[in-house]
Structures are given as structure tokens and as C-alpha cells.
Amino acid sequence: MCGIFGIYDHPEASNHTYLGLYALQHRGQESAGIVSSDQKQLHHYRQMGLVSEVFSRDTLRRLPGRSAIGHVRYSTTGSSELKNAQPFMVDYARGMMAISHNGNLTNASLIRGEMESRGSIFQSNMDTEVIVHLIARSKEKTFLERTIHALRQVEGAYSLLFLTEKEMVAARDPLGFRPLVLGSLKDSPVVASETCAFDLIGAKFIREIEPGEILLINGDGIKSFKPFPRKQRHQCIFEFIYFARPDSFIFNHNVYEMRKSFGAQLSKESPAGADMAIPIPDSGFPAALGYAAQSKLPLELGMIRNHYVGRTFIEPEQRIRHFGVKIKLNPVRELLKGKKVVIVDDSIVRATTSRKIVKMFRNAGAREVHVRISSPPITAPCFFGIDTPKKSELIASSHQVREIQKFIHATSLNYLSLEGLKKCVRGEEENFCYACFTGDYPYPFQTEI
């Protein structure tokens, strides 16, 4: 996963990009970067770390110009190191270009293999770099045409921002896996992964960039192109379940409301005889609210989160993740002693988190610990940008719900059903990708991971 942000023709382009990235930090904590344009050339700064650690007043000052794009990274392909940080910038025969990418291409290594066999040299191991090569090789006249030519050859998930000396281009893949929204800050166009980035800088949300749509933003304004055949949308349902920020509006819905409805539906399907409902912070909050309201249970904050620790999931090693849960979460003993609790979380991936959490509740004196998960069991890896790459690591790919319940030592365990999830997006069910729950991928492809 990643977050992208761009702004065109504003006197404080880099500063606003910095703020936009700050609001999108939840989408990636490994590295951050900004490329700005002063109309003559591009300026570049990227580093490993959080947005607040990467940029200083000084580094931002060294990113002059009225246009900028930025990126926060959570690696799904390519290792976690500086050469894979974005935006990716190159100087090629026709000038300079930079790219910020959210998503995952499914045919990148195929294309890359062919190019390398003909002598191409790649600087990173990101799938994104393939797009840069395709653009550089294209014989088309304009940057927009070269971009379209390149995008016709790639498959998979991409929400993209490009910056050249004079232009900005935004593109969303024809299936629309990842969100991408258009706004304006006074008269300056802004593009971001989620609307929460607009709120921070005081920009107005205009609309979502449509699947398959390409926006050309330059001195003449914004022009929209739809060069690809129209396809059935496959927006990632996991953005609603976990990834996006609850205050964002993406895929035509507010994320918070959507999560609440998942929780309410879960309660209808799987009530629990408990004294209270408890959210697992932070991602379980809205679903737990919906669950508690629907089941008329008091909602108690029985698990407290230390907000100065990053998401436990970002540590690449299992060893650290185990430790991470305890560092991040601590139960309120006085509240739990002798009580029957139902805890609500958004998802189970490997189940290491839930196992630790249930243990913490039991150690704190809870008599019964019912676990409710506001998504269906994740049984298949995602090849479109969510970090669940290996089937063997997904507990629900090889274990039944009752076995998982045993593994995490829960009194009971229930997931939201796939039908229930679809009910919450009633009328738009067909517009979403559910492959992580079903293994039915939107199109056939060779797995590269």
C-alpha cells in the first residue's frame, strides 16, 4: 500500500505536499518523498522513515516550484530500502519525469524480464519502474500519449501521479482497485489517494478520478481522457475494511459509515451474550460502534492504545510483530475482571495479533472473550497492493473458523459473512474486488510473488 499526493500551480506546492503526505501517513510508513517542479527542472528528496522524520524546513526549501507530487510507501513489491522509495525520478531523452504509484502491477516482472534481456538497466526492484521505461521508450509525441501508450501495456492496480517540468498527469487503472480523488485548493488542482489529505490543507473535494480515467493538468487547466475500454470496476473492499482513514470519502462512501455498517451487520449475524463490546484500537473502532449499537451492548474502551508506536504490521519480521502488540495495546483490568466481553476487530491475517489480544484480555481477568471480525476470513493473497502476499501466512487459507478460534483461545469467534459484507454495499456489490476472501481474481495472470 502507498499514499500519493500532488498539487499543480500553487506557490507553496512542496509545503502542501508535505501536509498531504502527513494526512496519508497511515497508507505507508517506510519511506516518504517529494518531487517538485520549478517549470525548468524537477527537484527531488526522498528518505526512509515517517513524513515528519524525512522532511525539515530545510529540505522543503530545497524543493522549489509551483507543482509537486509526493509519496508515502508501504512495500508490497520491492524491498524496503531507499532505492525503492518514491517518487521515482528520471532524466531521459525528452526531459525529466517523476512518478508516484499506489497499487501493484501483475505483469511487471514479465515486462521487466523482456526489457532486461534486451539490455535495459533498472535502478530499483519496484514494479513502478517498468512504467517509466515504457514511457521513455514510447515513440508517441506528447507526454500524455507516451503515458497512455505505457499504461496500455501494464496490468494490475495503479493509482498514479506523474510530474514533468510543465505538466502533471493523474491516472487510475481501468478496474479502479485503489482510490484516487481530485480536489482544488483555491484554483490549484490537487490529487490524493484519500480526501483526508484535502481536509488538512483546506482543499475542496471535487470528485473521484474514475477507473480508467487519465487527467492531464497543465497551464490550460484539467483535461480528462478515457483511452481504455470500459471494464467492470473492482474497487478494493479492503480499503473500507482496514486501509483507508475513517474520515475519508472514497469509492463513493464515507469510510467510517461503511465500517459502522459492517459492525452492525456482524451483530445481526453473530450476536454474543456479553456484558460489553470492546473495540480493538484503532481500526476496530467504527465496526465496534456499529456492533454495540445494533446489539444494544454498552461500548467500553477496554483496550488502550499507545499512540506513539507505529502500526504493528509494518515491522517486516514476525519476531518484532509478536512483541509489537504488547508495546501498542494494554487492557483496562478494572473494567474486565470477571466480565464477558465481545471484542471487535477489522480483520485476521496471520492471527498472531488476535491471539495476543485474547490472551491479554484473559490475563486481565475477563471470564469470556468472544471475538467478532468485521470482514470475512482472508483466504487468498492480494496481488493488487494489499500486503497479504503469501497464502501460507494467511491462517484462514488453511484453517477452519473453529480451528482459528481454538488457536486464538477465544470463547467464540465469528467473521462477517461475504453476503453480509455485500449487503453493506448493496446496489454496488459488483463494483468491488473480494479476491482476498474468495480467491476469485478479477482476471487471470501469472503470479509473480
Q: Give catalytic residue positions.
A: 2
Q: Are 211 and 159 in contact (CB under 8 A)?
A: no
Residue (37 or 388) nearer to ligand AMP, CB: 388
Cβ 145 to ligand AMP shortest distance, Å: 36
Residue (350 or 362) nearer to ligand AMP, CB: 350
What gap in Å lies between CA 248 and CA 376, rounded to an integer?
A: 22
Instruction: Rule CB under 6 A: say whether 387 interacts with ligand AMP.
Output: yes
Instruction: Rule CB under 6 A: say whether 205 interacts with ligand AMP.
Output: no
Instruction: Rule CB under 6 A: say whether 350 interacts with ligand AMP.
Output: yes
Q: Which three cell numbers stand for residue 288?
A: 465496534
Q: Which three cell numbers stand for residue 315?
A: 515491522
What residue has cell string 535502478? 123
Asked if the bond preceding 173 is cis, omega within 30° of 0, the reply is no
Rule CB under 6 A: choose which of 264, 386, 396, 436 binds ligand AMP: 386
Rule CB under 6 A: choose which of 347, 379, 405, 414 binds ligand AMP: 347
Rule CB under 6 A: choose which of 67, 100, 193, 283 binds ligand AMP: 283
Residue (213 or 346) nearer to ligand AMP, CB: 346
Residue (161 or 329) nearer to ligand AMP, CB: 329
CA 407, 410, 414: angle at the middle one, nearest 5?
95
Residue (164 or 354) nearer to ligand AMP, CB: 354
Cβ 295 to ligand AMP shortest distance, Å: 20
Q: x/- contact string, 226-265, with ligand AMP (CB under 6 A)?
A: ----------------x-----------------------
Instruction: Rule CB under 6 A: say whether 351 interacts with ligand AMP.
Output: yes
Instruction: Rule CB under 6 A: say whether 77 interacts with ligand AMP.
Output: no
The site that binds ligand AMP (CB under 6 A) totals a number of residues, namely 16
Instruction: Rule CB under 6 A: say whether 75 interacts with ligand AMP.
Output: no
What residue has cell string 488457536? 407
Q: Are 40 and 95 in contact (CB under 8 A)?
A: no
Instruction: Rule CB under 6 A: say whether 352 interacts with ligand AMP.
Output: yes
Instruction: Rule CB under 6 A: say whether 198 interacts with ligand AMP.
Output: no
Instruction: Rule CB under 6 A: say whether 208 interacts with ligand AMP.
Output: no
Instruction: Rule CB under 6 A: say whether 329 interacts with ligand AMP.
Output: no
What residue has cell string 487519465? 214
How many other CB atoms are found less than 10 A from the CB of residue 219? 9
Rule CB under 6 A: choose which of 69, 255, 349, 396 binds ligand AMP: 349
Cβ 407 to ligand AMP shortest distance, Å: 11
Chain contacts with ligand AMP (rule: CB under 6 A)? 242, 283, 313, 345-354, 386-388
